[in-house]
Amino acid sequence: MSANGDARGIVLVADDDEDIRALVAYRLASGGFEIVSARNGEEALQLAAERRPDLAILDVMMPRVDGLEVTRRLRADPRTERVPVILLTASVQEADVARGFEAGADDYLRKPFSPQELGMRVQAILARR
Amino acid sequence: MLRRSRSLTSRIAAASLLLGFVVVLAFALLASSIQSLRGATRAARRSGLIVAAADRLEKLAVDMETGERGFLIARDDLFLEPYEAAIARYPADVRALEQLVASQPEQHARVLRIARALRAYQLHWAAPVIALARVNPRAAIAREAGEGGKRRVDAIRTQFAQFIARENELSAKHTSDSNREGLNALILGVLCAIGSALLIVIYAGYLLRLVVAPVRRVAEAARRRTHGDLSARVAENGVGEVAVLAHNFNSMADTLQANQDNLAFDNAKLEAVLNATLDGILMTDADGNILFSNRKMDQLWKQMGLRDEGTIWDRMLRLAQRTTTPDAYFDLFAELAANPDKEIEADFTLADDGRSFIGYTAPVQHKGQARVGRIFAVREVTEERAVQRLKDEFVATVSHELRTPLTSIVGYVELLFDQQLSGALNETQQEFVDVIGRNAERLQRLVADLLFFAQVEAERLTLEYTQVDLVALVERARASAHPVAQNRGVSLECNCAGSAEIEADESRIAQLVDNLVSNALKFTPAGGCVRLGVQADDGLAAIEVRDDGIGIPEAEVERLFQRFFRASSAVAEEIPGTGLGLAIAKTIVDAHGGSIDVSSSPGKGTTVCVRLPVERVRTNGADRVTHSGVGA
Query: pLDDT value at position B26?
Result: 81
pLDDT above 50 for B409? yes
* Contact between residue A84 and residue A103 where contact means Cβ atoms under 8 Å apart: no
Q: Residue B631's pLDDT band (boundaries 50, 70, 90)? A: very low
Distance CA(B69)–CA(B322), nearest Å, equals 157
Nearest to B43 by CA among B186, B172, B165, B184: B172
In which band, very low, low, confident or very high, does the pLDDT at A6 lie, cut at 50, 70 and 90?
low
- pLDDT tens digits, one per residue of B523-559: 899 999 999 999 888 788 999 999 998 888 888 888 8
CA-atom Rg of chain B in angstroms: 68
Q: Measured between alpha carbons, how far is A13 from A85 in angstroms, rounded to an integer?
A: 10
With an 8 Å Cβ cutoff, are A114 and B410 in contact?
A: yes
Q: Which residue has the higher pLDDT, A1 or A33?
A: A33
pTM (global) more than 0.90: no
Is B407 an interface residue toward A (CB < 8 Å)? Answer: yes
- Over residues B210-236, the mean pLDDT reads 84
Element (H, E) at B213: helix B213-226
Per-residue pLDDT at A45? 93
**Taking 80 as the threshold, does the pLDDT of residue B413 lie above it?**
yes
Q: Is the pLDDT of residue B4 over 60?
A: no
Q: What backbone phi and psi angles, to 5 degrees, belong to B246? A: -65, -45
Closest residue in A to B412 (Cα–Cα):
A23
Q: Above 60 in pLDDT, residue A90?
A: yes
Element (H, E) at A72: helix A67-76
Say whether pLDDT at A3 is over 70.
no
pLDDT at B278: 86
φ/ψ (deg, to 5) at A62: -125, 150
Q: With an 8 Å Cβ cutoff, is B397 touching chain A?
A: no
Reported as a pLDDT band with limits 50, 70 and 90, residue A1 is very low
Question: Is A66 within 8 Å of chain B by CB?
Answer: no
What are the backbone dihedrals phi and psi of residue B613, each rounded to the nearest 5 degrees, phi first?
A: -65, 140
B404:A20 CB<8 A: yes
The answer to whether residue B521 scores a pLDDT higher than 70 is yes
Tell me how far apart the alpha carbons of residues B334 and B438 are, in angstroms, rounded to a whole number: 60
Report the chain A residue with the minimal C-alpha distance to residue B464.
Answer: A94
Which residues of chain B are within 8 Å of residue A113 when distances are taken between CB atoms?
407, 410-411
B35-91 tens-digit pLDDT: 888 888 888 888 888 888 888 888 888 888 888 888 888 888 888 888 888 888 888
Cα–Cα distance for residue pair B550/B602, rounded to 1 Å? 6
Cβ–Cβ gap B418/A93 under 8 Å = no
DSSP B272-297: HHHHHSSSEEEEEETT--EEEE-HHH
Contact A23 B455 (CB under 8 A): no
CA distance B584 to chain A (A): 15
pLDDT confidence bin for B12, thresholds 50/70/90? confident
- For residue B404, the model assigns a pLDDT of 87
Neighbours of B380 (CB within 10 A): 17
What confidence score (pLDDT) does residue A87 get? Answer: 94
Angle at A62 between CA A56 and CA A67, to 5 degrees: 40
B406 and A112 within 8 Å at the Cβ level: the answer is: yes
- Is the complex ipTM more than 0.85? no
Give the residue among A56, A59, A14 at the shortest CA–CA distance from A38: A14
pLDDT at residue B619, rounded to an integer:
62
Are the Cβ atoms of B411 and A61 closer than 8 angstroms? no
Q: Note whether A98 contacts B: Cβ–Cβ < 8 A.
A: no
- Whether residue B330 has pLDDT greater than 90: no
Cβ–Cβ below 8 Å for A112 and B452: no
The pLDDT > 70 percentage for chain B reads: 96
- Cβ–Cβ pairs < 8 A, chains A and B: 67
The edge-to-edge listing of strands for the beta sheet with B605-613 is B491-496, B529-537, B540-547, B605-613, B595-601
The mean predicted confidence, pLDDT, of chain B is: 85
* B285 has a pLDDT exceeding 70: yes
CB contact under 8 A, A61 and B412: no
Q: Is B120 helix (H, G, I), strand (E, B) or coil?
A: helix
Q: What is the pLDDT of residues B480-509, one digit of tens each?
A: 899 989 998 999 998 877 788 899 999 899
pLDDT score, position B3: 45
Averaged pLDDT of chain A: 88
Q: Check if B412 contacts A (Cβ < 8 Å).
A: yes
Torsion angle in degrees (nearest 10) through CA of B334, B339, B343, B347: -10
Q: Is the model's pLDDT at B122 over the cut of 70?
A: yes
Is residue B8's pLDDT more than 80? no
Q: What are the helix and strand counts (H, E) for chain B? A: 19, 12
Select from A30, A90, A93 the Cβ nearest to the Cβ of B420. A30
Half-sphere exposure of B244 (CA within 13 A, CB side): 8
| Contact between A111 and B403 using a beta-carbon 8 Å cutoff | yes
pLDDT at B618 over 80: no
Confidence of residue B626 (pLDDT cuts 50, 70, 90): low
3-state secondary structure (DSSP) of residue B344: strand
CB contact set of B476 (below 8 Å; sequence gap of 6+): B510
B74's enclosing H/E stretch is helix B8-74
Please tell me which residue, A24 or B230, carries the higher pLDDT value.
Answer: A24
What is the three-class DSSP state of B613?
Answer: strand
> Shortest Cα distance from A68 to chain B (angstroms)?
15
pLDDT band at A14; cut points 50, 70, 90: very high
Distance from CA of B350 to the nearest CA of A (A): 26
Contact between B407 and A20 using a beta-carbon 8 Å cutoff: yes
For the stretch B358-396, pLDDT in tens is: 999 988 887 777 778 889 999 988 888 888 888 778 877
**CA–CA separation, B438 vs B444, rounded Å?**
10
**What confidence tens digit (pLDDT) does each residue in B559-617 have?**
888 888 888 877 777 777 778 888 899 999 998 999 999 998 888 899 999 999 988 87
pLDDT of A29-81, one tens digit each? 888 899 999 999 999 999 999 999 999 999 998 888 999 999 999 999 998 99
pLDDT of residue B627: 55
Specify the higher pLDDT residue, B152 or B629: B152
Cα(A28)–Cα(A20) distance, rounded to whole angstroms?
12
For residue A20, which residues of chain B lie inside 8 Å, CB to CB?
A: 404, 407-408, 411
Q: What residues of B are in contact with residue A17 (Cβ under 8 Å)?
A: 404, 407-408
